[in-house]
Amino acid sequence: MTRAHAFPDRRTAGLHLGEQLSGRAWHDPLVLGLARGGVVVAHGVAAALGAPLDVAVARKIGAPGRPEFGVGAVTAHGEATYDTRTLRALGLSVDDLRETCEAERAEARRRERVYLGGREREPRAGRDVVLVDDGLATGVTARAAAHAIHEDRPRSLVFAAPVCAPESAVALKADVDEVVCLLAPDDLRAIGEWYVDFEQTSDDEVVELLGSELS
């Protein structure tokens, strides 16, 4: 697998992922895009499944002095999820990250308020839920989002992404019913390397996509 297979952009990747998932029998499906970039991919998946689109928000908890290095993740509500092996390797405890965790939880709540815009989120109970992101690297944010979704008692939960780190995809199977990846390259270093256009998705774009799908 080489970068010659890269996706032009998130929208195109979402169309391909939707094609992969559309041949199944789904029970009252709901597609959740993991904000921000996952919402762009999820839009195409929702269209392919004829399902409503909604948003899931999870924020990475970075290591002290290395915010880009995720050691955990947190959603707007519920307990944070940590990679215990990474914490041990770095000599960190949950208490060491409490302040960072609460700051990220506050940001998750802010984003959720912005994205929902005062409406109620789509019900998840008893439905086949597809959680979509633009890629799976360490998997820590996907795990946190999955834990929060399970609290709403979906009938099933499938995680889907255009490109995944193979070891993370295997590990995530402990938290969801199935992991679907179009590409699983052994040499994945950064998700953005597998897209021609990987510009950051804005809050406004997320709101626009959710509104176009739900209007």
Calpha distance 133→112 (Å, rounded)? 16
- The Cα angle at residue 34 between residues 28 and 39, in degrees rounded to 5: 80
Predicted TM-score of the model (pTM):
0.93
Checking if the pLDDT of 213 tops 70, the result is no
> pLDDT tens, 85-96?
899 999 999 999
| CA atoms of 190 and 183, how far apart (whole Å) | 13
Residues 6+ apart with CB under 8 A from 53: 31, 32, 33, 39, 42, 43, 46, 209, 210, 213, 214
What is the per-residue pLDDT for 68?
82
Q: How much is the average pLDDT of 142-164?
A: 97
Give CA–CA dist 129/206, Å, rounded: 19
What pLDDT is recorded for position 3?
54
In DSSP notation, the chain reads: --GGG-BS-HHHHHHHHHHHHTTS--SS-EEEEETTHHHHHHHHHHHHHT--EEEE-EEEEEETTEEEEEEEEEESSS--EE-HHHHHHHT--TGGGHHHHHHHHHHHHHHHHHHHTTSPPPP-TTSEEEEE-S-BSS-HHHHHHHHHHHTT--SEEEEEEEEB-HHHHHHHTTTSSEEEEEE--TT---GGGGBS--PPPPHHHHHHHHHHHH-
Interatomic CA distance for residues 57 and 51, integer angstroms: 19
From residue 34, give the alpha-carbon distance in Å to each of 43, 82, 179, 212: 11, 18, 15, 17
pLDDT band at 215 (very low <50, low <70, confident <90, very high): very low
**pLDDT recorded at residue 48:** 97
**For 102-118, how does the pLDDT look when each residue is reduced to its tens digit (9 = 90+)?**
999 999 999 999 999 99
CATH architecture, domain 3-57+122-214 = 3-Layer(aba) Sandwich (3.40)
Tell me which residue of 48, 21, 7 sits closest to 135, measured CA to CA.
7
**Confidence at residue 1, expressed as pLDDT on a 0 to 100 scale:** 40
What are the residue boundaries of the structural domains of the chain, listed by start? Answer: 3-57+122-214
Is the pLDDT reported for residue 6 higher than 60? yes
At residue 189 the predicted structure's pLDDT band, cuts being 50, 70 and 90, is confident
